Structure 1
């Protein structure tokens, strides 16, 4: 089972006098520059003794840079924490990730050595859920279609006859995956006049009702929903979960939203359906990450294609950084992490 948000993964019973643990930044050059420009790292220096340089490759780092590291403050582009890398960091006690998934750099060797891990995935879930809410409401109201029609006609469209059947009243929205993001989307939808369906193999009917959704199997969700939004993890069992068969179950005019991982959808099968004009799509992720220049996804009128922007960007990076700095501060005080990540979570997270 995954470790719920708020699970306390280290066990100090009470805070100790604050200290400033030796902390090293490990992340890509671009994200380090962005965090610096946003001022998102300034507060970290008040709670930790932070090296001025940041690491992008442990193998290239000098032994002196790693020998005394107690806390690694990581972000996108962090190098892999292999056994060899950990061997050169004998004093490492915590990895605090100022972004979402730790899958790309945290290995089993980290937990085997008793190193605690924290992630700001909960902070990153917020803008993704907000993006999804906007996409759902715009999809049902056909905002992009109407805007395009308006631009082409250059006159006020005849609203009543032209837009019959559009709108958000009593529409059905299907949420695939009760992840942090999926749950937040359901929460944001709760005040609206919408029926919310949920598919998640790890949630029972009572749990779904508590969230504000009706639990159904995936095929039923796809058939009944006007909008389907994917929030499932990227796992071997979820690859192409939206294949030719499942995409065919979408009702005419339905919209498929994917802000999770591109591999969850068979891109070729989806493109074929979209070319027919029968369905719509909002795609923030694709497989491959960047479609080829010849892909119809760039120009189809029934597709909104964005380059993985649903998650934190710009000043939203600061929210994740502050979550992570809070965790470093708790560590410095001898307190357990609020947003700890356990090894089992990697088998069910994005």
Structure 2
């Protein structure tokens, strides 16, 4: 992982657990497997504890790590570092993606509830006029009662968002090609096609994985289907949205957006998304930050405890699921 990440990730409680479970040296933190320090460590390594910034574990790394049997990832996706060579070796792999999904879902729920209350616009007007207005008259359709929220993707995050939104008086729509009508109903949602979801929803929230098939999943045509005044929330990946088309809709003040991810990840300084009043733009902050990092580290320690006890991982990553996961 990134060496600067380790002290943020590994709180004293988790460090104590890790050192009690394995021969673990918290001073050996590498983001390059070719350094002498890394090569020396790999020779005796049975388990790699990884997180953001882990380089690819390819055939060369595996050759230097003859005892390696497992990768425990204290973050989300393993696609960036777990290579085909790892699966060919038969490595066990687990990820704390479930733990990282929790703050993303919480961010999304807050964004949904604020979006339906038109908080961005109300706050801007209040700041400008500095007097209370008759908001019910100015915004007769605001509120979270009987509004429709469309969830694109029943991923870990998408399912958690649905779970957290169920107590509210909302109509929840779901589009996911891997979820049938019975499963959608069990989640508390109504399954619909993506066009119908875009057309009916007051808020559309995107939780699908970044795959070739999902590039511009919300394209110009589907953005045009969205209701006037609707809000698009994206905490997935920027590539799932046709960003140029979205900017046109936002600049015309027809839609609103909450964007935690963009294309590119760091926008150029002259991007209009920074200044549009109907956009809440955050710097990929929905995922684990600060104290939330400790939840992922604790999840990794839990999996190491299971491995040490000869038990299967509670949250395994399986090679057959990689093609449709984040």
TM-score tier after normalising by the smaller chain length = over 0.9
Q: What whole-Å deviation, never above 9, does each CA across 1:242-275 have from its counterpart, x for those lacking one?
A: 1111111111000000000111011111111110
Is 1:338 paired with 2:317?
Answer: no
Q: Partner residue of 2:269? A: 293
The 3-state SS of whatever aligns with 2:222 is helix
Q: What whole-Å deviation, never above 9, does each CA across 1:156-179 have from its counterpart, x for those lacking one?
A: 112331121100000000000000
The 3-state SS of whatever aligns with 1:30 is coil
Q: Partner residue of 1:49? A: 23
2:153 and 2:174 in contact (8 A); partners too: yes
Q: Partner residue of 1:21? A: none
Q: Partner residue of 1:276? A: 252
2:233 to 257, 274, 278: 257
CA distance in 1, matches of 2:14, 2:263: 31
Aligned pairs, how many? 324
Q: Partner residue of 1:33? A: 7
Q: What whole-Å deviation, never above 9, does each CA across 1:261-298 have from its counterpart, x for those lacking one?
A: 11101111111111000000000000100111001100
The answer for unaligned runs of 5 or more in structure 1 is: 1-26
The 3-state SS of whatever aligns with 2:185 is helix
2:234 and 2:259 in contact (8 A); partners too: yes
Is 1:85 paired with 2:61?
Answer: yes
1:38 and 1:315 in contact (8 A); partners too: no
The 3-state SS of whatever aligns with 1:49 is coil
Q: What whole-Å deviation, never above 9, does each CA across 1:8-36 have from its counterpart, x for those lacking one?
A: xxxxxxxxxxxxxxxxxxx0123123224
2:11 and 2:294 in contact (8 A); partners too: no
* TM-score, structure 2 normalization: 0.97
1:220-231 equivalent positions in 2, closer than 5 A: 220-231=196-207
How much does 1:236 deviate? Answer: 0.3
Where relative contact order (Cα < 8 A, 6+ residues apart) is larger, the structure is: 1
The 3-state SS of whatever aligns with 1:320 is helix
CA distance in 2, matches of 1:250, 1:278: 9
1:40 and 1:317 in contact (8 A); partners too: no
* TM-score, structure 1 normalization: 0.90
CA distance in 2, matches of 1:61, 1:199: 49
The answer for unaligned runs of 5 or more in structure 2 is: none
The 3-state SS of whatever aligns with 2:140 is coil
When structure 1 is superposed on structure 2, of 42-51 and 98-107 the one drifting more is 42-51
When structure 1 is superposed on structure 2, of 131-140 and 155-164 the one drifting more is 155-164
